[in-house]
Structure 1
């Protein structure tokens, strides 16, 4: 998880201000076993209130490290969705000291999956985010909140600050300030997805449930100054659209892929393959199985002649 703070000093002190974020991974086209990482949160978290000259902005990233501490990125270059969606993304470099697990794009819910899996009212959700009054001063310590889909994203919610008509799910998640930018996941039981061709695999049959990123929390709906318990969740495909189609991000990935290919050519490492065994015994234990070469006809006749030759007394 990522925590967002107004300044480097506030991040070091763990002050009760800012918002939440998370990391997304995009697989390299040159080497699919590696992924490029992006920090994701809301536009209003990193840019603040546009009506008040950016008041309340929190662009500084804090992440956990393997040694039990935190690392701070004070100057992340945030890119916002050009259409007006309340989303901000920053490319970050992976450091071995950082402790995190990004959400890969293949775990994103999509409009097609919504239809194919029959996603709708009442489906279980969980959110992982920053409980601002008990978030962890010296280390990011997120909490989980649970709920369900209350309304599908058929009608947008107006953003009070920008007046943008934001495509959103409504979710019963009972969030408060500080959870802005949190990832919201949908969890479905096995019988809902196991017949889908993409998930009808042996490894999937060992699970009882599976989760996908439904989207990112961006607001809670109030009525008469009371929190109704309803949260707005921007669909995951809006995040994917920004990451995959931003020209700067595309160029960064292209250059990084080219560099990976070039390094592989210069490494001088060649794969070595031994010829397969010509014959193998079928002993019950694998360790007892040995390779037995098949002799040529000439070798067989020579060996047979030696075997039947009479011994001299």
Structure 2
């Protein structure tokens, strides 16, 4: 499989500062762009458990969450964020009898309270558009399903880069589509399963379908042939990585085995669906509010409008 190098520019690293002040990476994030009334609103998206780890698991969550960007002129830059500035899914319930863990967190690069210029023109990244999201309609149109290849750009814990973020590209394939919730260490979770050869360090990474080559036909008259002929687009955002399954004891096998076990990577990762990402971004406390403010900015040539125009210009470069 050959994948464009641009894919590596689609991710950022999310983490915190250690006691020595050095950056400690907790996971991977990526940029999703929403548009309203002609203005662009970029969001950093990652897994909820990544920002939990970055902020510290104590109740206060006072530790700053750092987003590490590559700079266009070389080097890296850090965006400091507070835990309370991140949006989680409106139906997310962390623990308890009604636990419903939805492992998504989104941070708006445009601050709706201060409207401070995010100065993202210095950052070197590419964005995922709303049109790139893998919806049910997209799945049907492009015949996305079991066995299809996926690409996962993200963090490699053993080497994240000194002067720049250096993500790696992992590959795999869809092992299971959405059906019943899958078991996880945080309760049953809605998602996909993807089979991969390595999974360490990719929590929060985007999972993108890879359809570089599609046959024009399978069999004449086949129900799926017409759909595959239309499969021209290369990548769609299937979701983000929650984590991977491990086998720690014989009890972890559905069928008992005499094989020696002990923290075996099962090679299967759980993917939070892209629809959960969009629901997190589009809730009233996030993008719905931005839409109304964008409408007002469109009607008035004020400081907010000028700032949003600068954001638009930076994202189009």
* Aligned partner of 1:251 among 261, 285, 289: 289
Whether the aligned pair in 1 keeps the contact of 2:66 and 2:79 (CA below 8 Å) is yes
Aligned mates of 2:64, 2:243 — CA distance in 1:
16
Q: 2:76 maps to what in 1?
A: 70
Aligned mates of 2:298, 2:170 — CA distance in 1:
40
C-alpha change, 1:260 and 1:99, in structure 2 (3 Å) is: farther
Are residues 1:60 and 2:98 paired? no
Instruction: After superposition, give the CA deviation of every residue in 1:251-303 in whole Å (9 maximum; x if it has no partner).
Output: 12321332133229x99xxxxxxxxxxxxxxxxxxxxxxxxxxxxxxxxxxxx
CA-CA distance at 1:147 after TM superposition: 0.8
C-alpha change, 1:45 and 1:134, in structure 2 (3 Å) is: same
Are residues 1:23 and 2:31 paired? yes
Q: 1:183 maps to what in 2?
A: 206
Aligned mates of 2:165, 2:43 — CA distance in 1:
18
Q: With a CA cutoff of 8 Å and minimum separation of 6, indicate the structure with the bigger relative contact order.
A: 2
Are residues 1:88 and 2:101 paired? no
Q: Secondary structure at the match of 1:258?
A: helix
Whether the aligned pair in 2 keeps the contact of 1:217 and 1:233 (CA below 8 Å) is yes
Q: 1:133 maps to what in 2?
A: 158
- Cα-Cα RMSD: 3.2
CA-CA distance at 1:8 after TM superposition: 7.9
User: Which aligned pairs between 1:147-186 and structure 2 lie closer than 5 A?
Assistant: 147-160=172-185, 162-163=186-187, 165-186=188-209
Whether the aligned pair in 2 keeps the contact of 1:126 and 1:144 (CA below 8 Å) is yes
Unaligned runs of 5+ in 2: 1-10, 93-101, 111-117, 217-223, 249-262, 307-317
Aligned mates of 2:68, 2:135 — CA distance in 1:
29
Instruction: After superposition, give the CA deviation of every residue in 1:14-43 in whole Å (9 maximum; x if it has no partner).
Output: 44x311100000122x21xx4210000000
Q: Which has the larger radius of gyration?
A: 1
Instruction: After superposition, give the CA deviation of every residue in 1:114-157 in whole Å (9 maximum; x if it has no partner).
Output: 23322211101110000111111231111100110111121222
* Aligned partner of 1:44 among 38, 42, 49: 49
Q: 1:104 maps to what in 2?
A: 129
Whether the aligned pair in 1 keeps the contact of 2:26 and 2:201 (CA below 8 Å) is yes
Whether the aligned pair in 1 keeps the contact of 2:207 and 2:240 (CA below 8 Å) is yes
Q: Secondary structure at the match of 1:177?
A: coil
Aligned mates of 1:237, 1:111 — CA distance in 2:
9
